[in-house]
Structure 1
């Protein structure tokens, strides 16, 4: 279920202090002092909680059966690899308190990288390298096959088709879907197919599946100062995790740098990741496909919700071209 793309979520709705206290009591986490909704993230599924023993995040009303079990598994595995994830990930599968299962995890320290000043040149350059190193460490978690981890079987279930067919099928599906909301010309389709064709051999030869977070972006990361260095202090929201090509985790951060006018940092981030790979063969072709995939999703979504912030006269190719590394 984790590779399913959700454009809406099950929000928490109204919860009472009494309910929140019962949730804290279930894990012996002290007396509730306060709570507030998170500013962003997890699609309205989270609340900040403060008790007399610490600060926590409550996540509930799962999108699908097994969402929380899946996320707890990912958190446990990534913790063993030295990444700052929200552990322990306490999960209650009962529905007697809220009407749905929920999890309570520690609130991690730090600020989102998006809050760093663009004028802090030294910090930004170090940040791009640190984020690349974070992905390289996360992608040390390998699998024998590309696919999704299934909570019921506790195994990775391979995709029903080859990884390339699965990915290319998604790209073509979402470009067709985007036509319901946005202009997609014949030239856009031709450009898309050109990028896919150029990477076909690379994907057909791909045999190094790793854990892909699927939502590696500033919003799901926290950093903090350690002397004169910035260090990663938080990594969270693993709802979209699966096993495939690690390069798929690069486009969202690269896009966020580019949208802030820092294409140089986007390139620095991507190249730092590539330089850390033991096997770089086919990377340059595959990263173009993963970026194309993300920009197709963005093109359709932003048009559908009326959030277009660029020249409305641009074609898809004209808009997406600047995000593709050449």
Structure 2
């Protein structure tokens, strides 16, 4: 069975059998020194990760893969990003396929320095400082997008290379939206009028996807939890970008969605607008403003389909202010359009 790296995983097996002596055995295997301490990471992906502090440095351990080929995929992306971009990624990314220590394969990589953007709320930064950081976050994303290919596609762990999307990026994007919209019906009301509205939005955007000549690396998960920031000689910089398990090649505009939404869901429209505008103003995309707006609407629509299903499945839906899906999505899309 072929594993699609762009699938979404809501749960996974957690790391088990982690004991001090097994961690030390692992460190000795890779000549990484003597164990000082270890602890689960606060924002670990699917509870797969640990921080490990040793006599030779600080590391991140990730174990019990979500799917076959996860480690190879992430290693491929990190190694290629190191070659093609200046992005601060964790290298070396060491894979141990042997299961003798923990009962599953694992990887270990350097712990990159810095804090997450949401941690900066504790520092009471000035608006000017905050905007400097947001512009750095936009620039770091643009740097990721300098790795380009002629075809849209994703990593195939069976061939250990990129596999083009069979019917192109537009069809792939359409299928993703419709698949998760159908899935959302299990938890929430999706009316025929909602389906018609979504189909109309998707169809209207098709010409804008035909305008793309080169496809960029798309991280697929560019959000606060996966970005590290630090001050270096008094200047803010992005010091680390982590987690490449949902990466693919497509429209770079898709990558602005998660971080922009994180700010919007918190009611931080001004920050969201500054980040998004900073990205768009420096992207140099060879597309018309209308095409850019059209593709953005599709990428945000995809995120809203997922959000709609999530808030209903987890009991977060506000029954006091009922809305149809199209009302919910239209409202958010209008906000997005107003901030750039």
Q: What interval of TM-score do these two structures reach, taking the shorter chain for normalisation?
A: over 0.9
Structure 2 CA distance for aligned equivalents of residues 124 and 98 of structure 1: 42
Residues 202, 286 of structure 1: 8 Å contact kept: yes
Partner of 2:106: 102
Bigger CA drift: 238-247 or 226-235? 226-235
- 1:24 maps to which of 23, 27, 41: 27
1:171 to 177, 181, 184: 177
Question: 2: distance between equivalents of 1:274 and 1:40?
Answer: 28
Q: Say which is worse superposed, 225-234 or 40-49, in terms of deviation.
A: 225-234
The CA RMSD measured in Å over matched residues stands at 1.8
Q: Secondary structure at the match of 1:87?
A: coil
Deviation at 1:228, TM superposition (A): 4.5
Mapping 1:274-289, distance limit 5 Å = 274-278=280-284, 279-281=286-288, 282-289=291-298
Q: How far apart, in 2, do the equivalents of 1:225 and 1:259 lie?
A: 27
Residue 315 of structure 2: aligned partner: 306
Describe how 1:147-296 pairs up with structure 2 within 5 A. 147-278=153-284, 279-281=286-288, 282-296=291-305
- The answer to whether the 8 A contact 2:5-2:156 is kept is no
| TM superposition outliers: structure 1 runs of 4+ over 6 Å | none
- Look up the match of 2:70: 67
**Uncovered stretches (5+) of structure 1, i.e. residues with no partner:** none
Q: CA deviation at 1:178?
A: 0.4
Equivalent pair of 1:76/1:87 in contact (CA under 8 Å)? yes
C-alpha contact 1:145 1:156 (8 A) present in aligned 2: no
**Which SS does the other structure have where 2:283 is aligned?**
coil
Number of aligned positions between the proteins: 326
TM-score by length of 2: 0.90
Deviations 1:208-263 (A, max 9, x none): 21111011000101101234432101100000011111111111100111122211
- Within 5 Å, give how 1:67-86 maps onto structure 2: 67-80=70-83, 81-86=85-90
| Contact 2:16-2:102 at 8 Å conserved across structures | no
The aligned runs of 1:13-52 (5 Å cut-off) are 13-52=16-55
Unaligned runs of 5+ in 2: none
* Partner SS state of residue 237, structure 2: strand
| Between 215-224 and 31-40, the greater mean CA deviation after superposition | 31-40
Indicate conservation of the 8 Å contact 1:41/1:220, yes or no.
no
